[in-house]
Amino acid sequence: MTLGEALRAATARLGAAGVDSPDLDARLLALEAFRLDHAALLSRGGDAAPLEGIDRLDVMVARRGAGEPVARILGRREFWGLDFALSPATLVPRPDSETVVQAALDALEGRDGPLRILDLGAGTGCLLLALLSERKDAYGIGVDRSAEAAATARRNARALGLGGRAAFLVGDWAASLSGPFDLVISNPPYIAAGEIAGLDREVREHDPHLALDGGAAGLDAYAAIAQDAPRLMGAGSVLVLELGVGQEADVALLAAAAGFDVRPAKRDLGGVPRALVCLWPGR
């Protein structure tokens, strides 16, 4: 079997399994299975496929056909142009969350460092580490309730050369920390508990429920963060929260009740209000 034949067979299997993007997924899995880059896979399509690569691809295709996301199979995902390792305790970084990074950078524009950043519910560390990659004058702390997630974020920080400016702790939001921070960011659990069973299979069966379950209305984490955030802020500090679909008004009310000046949410590429920017005037 040639590399091209192996790729076509994988595509056919994924198509038959009902995968939405069988061509792309098969190609990504084949790159990993055969340890090739895109150019080599294209140019060497007529070469004999190594047996060990065929075996690896067979296992990967079976996992993908059973509903496991490609990123979970590969164990990593690109975010903000950076490569992030995953673990079972972390969400897969998604393009929508890059809106939070951009909203935070916009809110900090013109502000000189050094900047102190706090990431609540850090997961892979993608939000904090993306910001540190852009702001060389910043350092930050990420907190997650999962020890495994915090360990994954530490590994990502070291791999990206950012370990000297980032620390990842295990905790219950910011309970063990004191401010002030110039920026607090969070992609908290925001799925209503009753809606988790209806999520896409890839999310429902493979993302950690601790990072999904936002309580009865999906607002529990927002309420906890908004109530505690004022003590973490200094005059002019910024809170940026990732939103679920349709949550802008409710979360804005929580933030405003805590004393924040709430700005309209920044929309993601799909037009969904995704990143709520809240300014702290100080007292």
Which parts are annotated binding residues for S-adenosyl-L-methionine?
Answer: 121-125, 144, 173, 187
For residue 118, give the amino acid letter.
L
- What is the DSSP pairing of strand 233-242 with strand 266-267? unpaired
126: nearest Cα among 182, 186, 72: 186
Which tokens hold the place of 139?
Answer: 């350092």
Q: Which residues contribute to the annotated binding site?
A: 121-125, 144, 173, 187-190
Q: Which residues contribute to the annotated binding site for substrate?
A: 187-190
Residue given tokens 């300014």 in the structure block: 279
H or E, element range at 142: strand 138-144
What is the sign, positive or negative, of the torsion defined by CA atoms of 29, 30, 34, 39? negative
As a whole number of angstroms, the distance between CA 123 and CA 146 comes to 8
Q: What is the DSSP string of 53-83?
A: HHHHHHHHHHHHHTT--HHHHHTEEEETTEE
Find out whether the peptide bond into 180 is cis, omega within 30 degrees of 0: yes
φ, ψ dihedrals at 57, nearest 5°: -65, -40
Count of beta carbons in the 10 Å neighbourhood of residue 200: 11
As a whole number of angstroms, the distance between CA 66 and CA 69 comes to 9
Find out whether the peptide bond into 88 is cis, omega within 30 degrees of 0: no
